[in-house]
């Protein structure tokens, strides 16, 4: 960290001139945008737009993920001064990245929420930027995938989670964070045969043919081997990566709505994400961070790291 820069930088969320480069602002002060990127609604020349979706009205158990985007942004300040470890390059110096702020929606008009989010992401995509979304509960992936499908056609989904979220539900008007990938398959947004689920450890009698590596397989085979297998499945097809923070064991991410024991460690997740380098990723999200259930802030810290790793994946192909 540059001590001289730290003496003079403050509120980089508003004052930074360049969309590229590190921030040496004191991690404990200032306005908290994601990784001290500039807050901006101007997407001209932007490569990656980070945006929050503070929605948690589709949960089946504990709420609180509406507070996730704010907590993830605050936690990300810890990483802002340094290049991400282990990648060999700094995407925040090579990519133009902004914090696009949060989705604006009427919290009391839940039926209108999906279209609002699809339009929000559609705007990002039309500007030529890749969306990185901070949730919010996991339902938010469904309206996002609708916008992604409009641009890229059927996507391959890399889905890290304790739950498959493919429980059958043919009522498209229902907003539920456990059925959205069933609907995404039925709508043709994702191709189940070229998608993959990792870390699953709850029972679902029908995963719609999606290749699945449960949490035990990650523990026994190792995250690097699972990442290699996932890359073979998705090939060079356009990929959307969704990371439910409950894919981590509750020991590493207690602040979530539906925790399940036996999950991935944060170290396994880091290896898994880094070894996915080279996938044709078009966007991603990290969801289900619920700060009220974690007084330590560890869950939001994990969420911030996941979002950074998604950005590293997005920048990897551009530099090779």
pLDDT of residue 274: 98
Range of the structural domain that residue 212 is part of: 3-319
> 122 Cβ partners below 8 Å, 6+ apart?
147, 150
Q: Cis peptide before 86, with omega less than 30 degrees from 0? A: no
Q: CB of 93 within 8 A of CB of 83?
A: yes
Give Cα 217 distance to the centre of its chain.
Answer: 23
- CATH code of the domain containing 236: 3.40.800.10
pLDDT of residue 2: 67
pLDDT of residue 3: 66
Token duo for residue 215: 């949490």
Tell me whether residue 244 is annotated as binding.
Answer: yes
DSSP letters of the chain?
A: --HHHHHH---HHHH---SSS---S-TTSS---GGGPPB-S--TT-SEEEEEE---TT-SS---GGGHHHHHHHHHTTTTTSPPTTSSS-HHHHS-EEEEEEPP--TT-GGGHHHHHHHHHHHHHHTTPEEEEEESSGGGHHHHHHHHHHHHSSBEEEEE-SS--------TT---TTTHHHHHHHTTSB-GGG-EEEEE-S--S--TT--EEEHHHHHHH-HHHHHHHHHHHHTTS-EEEEEEGGGB-TTT---SSS--SS-B-HHHHHHHHHTTTTS-EEEEEEE---GGG-TT-HHHHHHHHHHHHHHHHHHHGGG-
Tell me whether residue 106 is annotated as binding.
Answer: no
Give Cα 185 distance to the centre of its chain.
Answer: 20
The number of domains in the chain is: 1
Count of other CB atoms within 10 angstroms of residue 174: 12
Tell me whether residue 163 is annotated as binding.
Answer: yes
Instruction: Indicate yes or no: pTM above 0.85.
Output: yes
Tell me whether residue 161 is annotated as binding.
Answer: yes
d(CA 18, CA 36): 11
Query: What tens-digit pLDDT sequence spans the chain (320 residues)?
Result: 566 777 889 999 999 989 999 999 999 999 999 999 999 999 999 999 999 999 999 999 999 999 999 999 999 999 999 999 999 999 999 999 999 999 999 999 999 999 999 999 999 999 999 999 999 999 999 999 999 999 999 999 999 999 999 999 999 899 999 999 999 999 999 999 999 999 999 999 888 999 999 999 999 999 999 999 999 999 999 999 999 999 999 999 999 999 999 999 999 999 999 999 999 999 999 999 999 999 999 999 999 999 999 999 999 988 76
Tell me whether residue 47 is annotated as binding.
Answer: no
């Amino acid at each position: 960290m540059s001590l001289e820069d730290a003496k003079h930088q403050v509120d980089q969320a508003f004052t930074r001139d360049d969309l590229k480069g590190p921030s040496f602002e004191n991690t404990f002060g200032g306005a908290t945008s994601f990784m001290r990127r500039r807050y901006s609604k101007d997407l001209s020349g932007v490569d990656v737009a980070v945006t929050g979706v503070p929605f948690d009205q589709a949960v089946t158990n504990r709420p609180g993920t509406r507070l996730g985007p704010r907590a993830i942004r605050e936690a990300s300040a810890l990483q802002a001064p340094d290049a991400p470890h282990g990648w060999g390059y700094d995407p925040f110096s090579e990519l133009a990245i902004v914090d696009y702020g949060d989705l604006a929606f009427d919290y009391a008009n839940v039926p209108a929420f999906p279209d609002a989010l699809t339009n929000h992401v559609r705007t990002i995509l039309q500007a030529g930027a890749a969306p990185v979304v901070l949730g919010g509960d996991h339902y938010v992936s469904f309206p996002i995938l609708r916008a992604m499908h409009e641009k890229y056609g059927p996507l391959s989904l890399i889905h890290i989670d304790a739950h498959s979220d493919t429980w059958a539900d043919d009522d498209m008007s229902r907003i539920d964070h456990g059925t959205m990938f069933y609907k995404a398959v039925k709508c043709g947004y994702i191709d189940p045969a070229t998608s993959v689920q990792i870390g699953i450890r709850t029972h679902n009698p029908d995963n719609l043919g999606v290749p699945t590596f449960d949490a035990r397989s990650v523990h026994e085979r190792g995250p690097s081997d699972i990442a290699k297998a996932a890359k073979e499945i998705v090939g060079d097809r356009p990929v959307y990566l969704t990371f439910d923070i409950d894919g981590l064991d509750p020991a590493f991410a207690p602040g979530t709505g539906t925790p399940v024991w036996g999950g991935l460690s944060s170290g396994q997740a880091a290896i898994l994400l880094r070894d996915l380098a080279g996938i044709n990723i078009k966007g991603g999200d990290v969801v289900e961070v619920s700060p009220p259930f974690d007084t330590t802030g560890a869950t939001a810290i994990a969420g911030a790291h996941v979002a950074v790793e998604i950005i590293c994946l997005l920048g990897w192909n551009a530099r090779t």
